[in-house]
Amino acid sequence: MNVARKSNLAQAIEQMPKAELHVHLEGSISHETIEELARKNGIDSYAARGRANPARLRYGHLVDFLEAYRVRCKCLRSADDFQVACTDVLESLHALNVRYAEIMIAPTLHRMNGLSMDEIMPVLARTAGEFSKKNGLEARFILDVGRQFGREHAWQTVREAARQQDSGVIAIGLGGDEVHYSPELFVEQFAWARKQGLHLVAHAGEVGDSASVWGAVNSLGVERIGHGLGARGDEALLETLRIRQIPVDMCPTSNVETGAVRSYADHPLADFLRRGLLVTVNSDDPAMFGTSLTQEYSVCWQELGLAWSELKLLCLNGIRGSFLPDKDKERFLEEFTEELAEIESETGLR
């Protein structure tokens, strides 16, 4: 690729409209803001920053990352803290030209710190609504069940999610320790959440194998998979994901940083996309991994070898894989397609 085309492609990635479907609120708060909140609430600010090392060393294992994440959550001790955090995250997303985001929250960790989603969500809804009116970025929220906290905490989370649908909660998720807690443990909670009108998504195959993904799809009936690395090598599963067009939200830098894959060269995103799976690209916990959604698109280009046409497909998949109503998907897809065409015209990319 010649120098001019490289420059044009980098410019196009910067300018392209984006959707972010797999991003955690707590792991997206900037280092400056998390330090401010840590000092305010008497938390060790160094521990709260997470991986801010310019050498970009790995966490070593997902469990190490989850412990750093827990410390971050301790920095949020009031509804006002969540307003500050939400504004910070939305500003960061807006700067990347993100137009739509589905932001995950870890209710159990905050419940353990004395806060319920019934207290927090109205504040987040107001903050996101005001930001949208001013800047045009639309945001919704997903409440994540932490596997390791057990079934009763899971029930509390899904009930909070059901009560807070008017505050922008659109889905229930499953996260946490995938190795020791299978999706099948939470069948009742997810079935109940579906009956309340909530969408369903699960981290599956991040560090678990294909059985974890099968469990999320068949037992929980999820509509979207987070990470999905464990699906590779299971041809029947990959074909099921392709035929049913179950979106797979992939986060390359996150997977390298937690050791879920050995390197970018080992990441299956390009293979999944070229097989016809509905793959989206996301940043997961950008502040903790030293990345951004724009950087993840650059990784897909520079490290995974995707062409501009494939980057465009990922971009549009971000809307196709969302939990937006069909009419809103059509609106965003039309807007994105028009803007991508303008970018092509300006940069000469095809």
Q: First-to-last CA distance in the chain?
A: 13
Domain definitions of the chain by residue range: 16-323
Q: Which residues are catalytic?
A: 206
Whether pTM exceeds 0.85: yes
Angle at 207 between CA 301 and CA 178, to 5 degrees: 135
- pLDDT in the model for residue 43: 87
328/100 Cα distance (integer angstroms):
11
Q: How far apart are CA 177 and CA 261, in angstroms?
A: 17
Backbone angles phi, psi at 78, to 5 degrees: -155, 165
pLDDT tens digit at each of 350 positions of the chain: 565 677 899 999 999 999 999 999 999 999 999 999 999 999 876 655 555 443 344 555 566 677 778 889 999 999 999 999 999 999 999 999 999 999 999 999 999 999 999 999 999 999 999 999 999 999 999 999 999 999 999 999 999 999 999 999 999 999 999 999 999 999 999 999 999 999 999 999 999 999 999 999 999 999 999 999 999 999 999 999 999 999 999 999 999 998 999 999 999 999 999 999 999 999 999 999 999 999 999 999 999 999 999 999 999 999 999 999 999 999 999 999 999 999 999 998 87
Question: HSE (CB half, 13 Å, CA atoms) of 326?
Answer: 0
Identity of the residue numbered 180: H
**pLDDT value at residue 253:** 97
Exposure pattern of 284-319 as b/e (b: 16+ CB <10 Å)?
A: bbbbbbbbbbbbbbbbbbebbebebebbbbbbbbbb
**Nearest Cα to Cα of residue 48 among 28, 70, 25, 17:** 70
What's the confidence (pLDDT) of residue 221?
Answer: 98
What does the pLDDT read at residue 44?
76
Task: List alpha helices for 196-325, DSSP H.
Answer: 210-214, 235-244, 252-257, 269-274, 286-289, 293-302, 308-320
The candidate with the shortest Cα–Cα distance to 17, out of 339, 344, 346, is 339
Short-list 225, 157, 218, 217, CA closest to 193: 157
For 77, residues 6+ apart whose C-beta sits below 8 A from its C-beta are 41, 113, 114, 115
pLDDT for 157: 98
Distances from the Cα of 30 to the Cαs of 114, 196, 226, 259, in angstroms?
23, 34, 23, 23
Q: What pLDDT sits at residue 27?
A: 95
Locate all alpha helices (DSSP H) within 58-112, ordered by sequence: 62-74, 79-95, 107-111
Q: What is the pLDDT of residue 46?
A: 62
Which residues have a Cβ under 8 Å from the Cβ of 224 and sit 6 or more positions away? 21, 199, 200, 201, 202, 246, 247, 248, 249, 321, 323
As beta bridge partners, residue 201 has: 224
The pLDDT, as a whole number, for residue 321 is 98
Options 3.20.20.140, 3.40.50.920, 1.10.1380.10, 3.40.50.150; CATH of 16-323: 3.20.20.140
The conformation of residue 224, written as its DSSP 8-state character, comes to: E
pLDDT, position 97: 98
Cα 76 to the center of its chain, rounded Å: 20
CB 309 within 8 A of CB 344: no
